[in-house]
Chain A
Amino acid sequence: MKKLLKYLNNYRLECAVAPSFKMLEALFELFVPLVMTKIIDEGITAGNTRIIVKNGIMLVLLAFIGLTCSLTAQYFAARAAIGFAKGVRSSLYEKILGFSYENIDRIGQSSLITRITNDISQVQNGVNMVLRLLLRSPFIVFGAMIMAFTINVKAALIFVVMIPLLFLAVFTVTLVTIPMYKKIQRTLDKLTGHIRENLTGSRVVRAFNAGEREKETFNKENDHLLHASLVTSRVSAILNPATVIIVNASMLILIASGANLVNEGTLTNGQVYALVNYMSQILVELVKFANLMITINKSLASASRISETLDIENALKDEGTVDALGLEDTDEIIRFEDVHFAYPGTGASFVEGMSFSVKPGQTIGIIGGTGSGKSTLASLLMRFYDTDSGHIYYKGKDIKELSLSTYRKCFSSVPQKAQLFSGTLRDNLLVADPSATDEEMLTAIRLAEAENVVFAKGEGLDMKINEGSTNLSGGQRQRLTIARALVRKAPILILDDSSSALDYATDSRLRANLKTLTDKTVFIISQRVISVKNSDKILVLDDGDIAGFGTHDELFENCPVYREICDSQDTKGEESL
């Protein structure tokens, strides 16, 4: 939370004004019973109508001042809270976009999204409420007590006993129930998980006639939830009657001792009224304060998640200075030299001593089962992760010496997951190259075999793409992501298993089109032999090791792993449906 406070720096004025005006309002509120006492004692009892009118006007005036003060306070509190949230949101977003893959893997995308949406709203609400109420409530409570002392010390002593008792009741119940409510939430989450499971597995559940059993388990969990809710509500139900008893018992004592004091002549009945009034005010404020505590508790949890995210150090250091785009051509465009790599947090090394080199303009196929390291190799190549040891060279330079932003511009890639952004197709293609002309984009679309996708709808480059690309099929999405990659005029193209949703005919036409891009070095990652078979060279990966590197024919002869893959895909990788 402390770390986040700096986002309030620009709102110091607001942060000072809001609570001050709230306190001012509270102060005026505390005067009201005194004015009323005056009306009763000096007006009614003495029969003085002038005093009544004068103090009556005073009451109206106090109402107006109170309104002005509280509106001012609300406005400034809202400004501070929103400005604060805006600042945090902006920093957090920038931070997340700057994260390396390692950071993203660790936290997870959905968790990052929750942090930047829900958590920030939660904290904004917390800041707003704290500015408004944190000072006000205690101020009223203790102010009312002090006022009581100014009226009569003996009577005020009742307040001294009552306030801590009320505090105790309100806070014990609140604090005891916070973890209980959390438990209810967990039980509910479990129940929700069970329902979701039964929805996704509806066919399997029925196939195994397991419906009755599922219902039994569910009913048990459901009863747990009922039980937890009832227990918690029994505890929280104590709060209301407890405060009623404490406050009214105090009032009873107050009236009894007030009667004595009035009889002695040290107190007027108007003052007794004022004291009773202060007691009710205290109760109202304490209940508000307890609710504030719950809000604060929630937003502190959110705040700590946010500041934790902001504190994360970027795992990838961008310290290179050489402009990768300005490098001279060499006869080796990429070279891996004894590269070792382990996924952070897994301990076990994943890539062990990988070495190979690639000439400019070559097409390199990369094949291997899942978990063999194909995508990892692509991520290492584009420097989304750093190697643990060993080096990767681009045109003879260690890639760590190159500035990251220029180095990434040397690549164009089609990631495994075909993701597009909502907007027009043009917007999406411009992501790859903001300066691309319509002509260039259309060429890329043609090369990606995506013409029929684009022109079927008759909107060309203005074709709308929905959020989550729901208006496109998997194959269409894939072809458009390929088109996007082709828009960028980068020397290296990486296709990461990006034809899995295409039928064979389209896939083979696509590969033929790529062959025409002779100036590009192309990496084709695939599980299917047929997709890589015609590459200049094929890199066979097995468990993070290179099992072979050569042409299809060479490998088919000499590389047992490659042979096994070919066999599993029916002989030479030609016959498979």
Chain B
Amino acid sequence: MKNKAIFLRILKLVKPHAVLIVLSLLCAVGNVFSALFIPVLTGRAIDEMIGEGRVSFENIRHILTLFLIAFLVNAATVWLMTLINNRITFKVVRDLRRDLFAKLHSVPIFYMDSLGHGDLLSRIVSDVERLSDGLLLGFSQLFTGILTIVATLVFMVRINLWIALAVMVLTPLSLFAASFISKKTFKYFKAQAALQGGLTSFINETIGAVRVVKTFGYEKEENEEFNKKNEEFAKTNLKALFFSSTTNPVTRFVNSMVYAAVGILGAFLGVAGKITVGTLTCFLSYANQYTKPFNEISGVITEFQNAIACAGRIFELMDAKDFVDTVTDPVEAPKLTGDIEVKDLAFSYDKSKKLLYDISFHAAPGSHIAIVGPTGCGKTTFINLMMRFFEPDAGTILYDGIESDRIRRNELRTNIGMVLQDTWLKEGSVFENIAYGKPDATKEEVMEAAKKSHAHSFISRLENGYDTVLAPDGGNLSAGQKQLLCIARVMLALPPILILDEATSSIDTRTESKITKAFQTLMEGRTSFIVAHRLSTIRNADLILVMKDGNIIEQGTHDELLVKKGFYYQMLNSR
């Protein structure tokens, strides 16, 4: 997307707040003019105090009344402006995050997988934050900045052309100085960022693998290496930090020079009777503040460039194609029996590489189907197709004779229960987690499901039983306990079709036997697909699908396959 297009879309985002924006701009106008009016009034007041016995109190009272009005207007407008701008940006942020989060639930799963979770997260969290910072600054400083510059110029030219010219010529100098420094600094910052990156990765790596370092007694070497990097980093860091910190003094210096020039020139004009002392003081205070809006605007521009880049990423996610559920001739809320027929199913992400093809088989209601094969053979892809996380490129899956694309995804999924190896639990109570698929479940139902899943005993031993709040990702449970909870979650819903993934390792024997028993209870009378590793499971299956390189190369029962002496037979004998 082009920057201009992005900008236009940002405008669209804030469009619902048009009334507030107009109000904010009006406030800004009032704010700028009142701010610029105050020095004029101060100057006028000073002009009314010529010397002993020559003070016009009548006029001063009049001026001070205006002064009071001016600063009250100034205070009121700055207050309103801040409130309005914050309101607009925070609301835009809220709406963006809401829409982006909803988007997460409508894009295809593989879109999320391919973009990476970290990337998506940073779009919704930090990119939105950066965009809002840019917006806020843009609202609050860009317009007021430009207005201040223009209005000051007009004010100055109207009061005295010569001094105005001096200010106009000298002020850009400070901007040049600032941009010179920032270019210089940028170079060092880049070098610093590179070194810092190196240092951080080194820290990440050695502290992340501190056990390896200690195992091989490599502490001394790593320390030396670190000190070398640290030293190098500090050198560049000093340059970057010093040069960047010169911006303020240099700007201040140029400002002082402008101040001096205005002072001298003004004084001569004063002596010549062209301007009054009050006018000079007004000029001096303008000169003092004149660089400020310039600096602010250049700050806003940098921030805005960032914001545009962030907005680009946000809109990209927003525009990602939805995974639309196009059902033709839908069958309303089918209650499936578990008869599944798969015909010539094929799928690939990249059309040049076949990921899964020619998958055909039939599963009778209540039968148990074991899927075996080496990693990368397409087992996971097959599951994704069954759940309609992906849509097949060719072929069909028939549930009770109904083509899968005639069943709404939501309704299909209520008929399928899934227990995967990567056990996902949400941050919430044990109860909430078990009732995840059936939020209106009663306490009794949840406990019943937990008992059937052999999870009840460990849950009762938890500090608060079913009300124990799990850490993110079930952090306070063991891998086996997490698996048991995932089983209980499905046990509660008890759908007619199951997809189960047998654990391979890292679960202790006792828990593993509980899981096996729980699986057996679950599978009773249900069509079950098991990604199997245990020989007993495979042997007891009604149908074994042997997969390799995206294809079913053999299918049948254990005995049939042994007789065949094919890949399955070899696999068993290579033990």
Contact = CB atoms under 8 A, between A and B. Distances in A.
Contacts of A432: 216
Contact of B534 (A44, A218, A411, A570): A570
Given A45-B277, A230-B87, A577-B571, A265 B284 contact: no
B328 interface: no
B523 to A, nearest CB: 17
Interface in B493-550: 493, 505-513, 532-536, 538
B401 interface: no
Given A128-B241, A255-B67, A96 B101 contact: no
B533 to A, nearest CB: 5
A252 B120 CA distance: 55
Determine which residue in A45, A273, A280, A484 has the highest number of CB atoms from chain B within 10 A of its CB, and name it: A273
Contact of B575 (A223, A411, A412, A504): A504
Interface stretch (B159-167, B243-251, B329-337, B458-466): B243-251
B295 to A, nearest CB: 14
Given A52-B271, A269-B46, A577 B79 contact: no
Contact of B535 (A213, A370, A577): A577
Contacts of A132: 245
Interface stretch (A67-75, A448-456, A517-525): A67-75
Nearest to B247: A74
Contact of B426 (A53, A201, A270): A201
A78 B238 contact: yes
B424 interface: yes
Nearest to B70: A248
Nearest to A197: B426
Contacts of B267: 39-40, 43-44, 52, 56
B208 A234 contact: no
Contacts of A63: 253, 256-257, 259-260
A240 B222 CA distance: 51
Size bracket, chain B contacts: 35 or more
A276 B42 contact: yes
Interface in A198-213: 198-211, 213
Nearest to A189: B125
Nearest to A270: B277
Interface stretch (A98-106, A298-306, A331-339): A98-106
Q: Would you call the interface of chain B mostly helix, strand, loop, or mixed? A: helix
Given A71-B246, A78-B241, A245-B75, A96 B207 contact: yes
A97 B222 contact: yes
Contacts, number: 398
B557 interface: no
A96 B264 contact: no
Given A206-B387, A265-B53, A200 B205 contact: no
Nearest to A39: B267
Nearest to A571: B535
A6 interface: no
B386 to A, nearest CB: 11
A382 to B, nearest CB: 7
Interface stretch (B339-347, B413-421, B441-449): B413-421
Nearest to A211: B105
Nearest to A268: B51
Q: Would you call the interface of chain A mostly helix, strand, loop, or mixed? A: helix
A157 B206 CA distance: 62
Contacts of A210: 436-437
Contact of B52 (A66, A263, A277): A263
B206 A97 contact: yes
Interface in A257-299: 258-260, 262-265, 268-270, 272-273, 276-277, 280
A554 interface: no
Nearest to A193: B472
A202 B109 contact: yes
Interface string B269-305: 0110000011011001100100000000000000000
B19 interface: no
A192 B121 contact: yes
A574 B249 CA distance: 77
A469 B76 CA distance: 59
B223 A97 contact: yes
A211 to B, nearest CB: 4
A135 interface: no
B223 A94 contact: yes
A201 B533 CA distance: 24
A255 B426 contact: no
Nearest to B222: A97
Given A62-B256, A270-B277, A419 B242 contact: no
Interface in B203-240: 203-219, 221-223, 226-227, 230-231, 233-234, 237-238
Contacts of B505: 500, 527-528
Interface stretch (B5-13, B90-98, B141-149, B559-567): B90-98
Given A192-B125, A219-B98, 16 more contacts: A44-B270, A44-B277, A67-B250, A97-B210, A193-B427, A202-B112, A204-B418, A226-B90, A230-B90, A249-B71, A258-B49, A273-B281, A408-B217, A415-B212, A527-B505, A576-B535
The 8 closest A-B pairs by CB, nearest first: A369-B508, A265-B52, A63-B256, A248-B71, A59-B260, A56-B264, A241-B75, A44-B270
18 contacts: A40-B277, A70-B248, A74-B242, A82-B238, A96-B210, A117-B200, A195-B104, A199-B112, A226-B94, A237-B79, A237-B86, A241-B76, A273-B281, A370-B507, A371-B508, A408-B215, A422-B205, A431-B216
Interface of A: 32, 36, 39-40, 43-45, 47, 49, 52-53, 56, 59-60, 62-64, 66-67, 70-71, 74-75, 77-79, 81-83, 85-86, 89-90, 93-94, 96-99, 101, 104, 109, 112-113, 116-117, 128, 132, 188, 191-211, 213-215, 218-219, 222-223, 225-226, 229-230, 233-234, 237-238, 240-242, 244-245, 248-249, 251-252, 255-256, 258-260, 262-265, 268-270, 272-273, 276-277, 280, 368-372, 382, 384, 405, 408-409, 411-413, 415, 417, 419, 421-422, 431-432, 434, 467, 484, 488, 500, 503-505, 527-528, 530, 564-565, 568, 570, 574-577
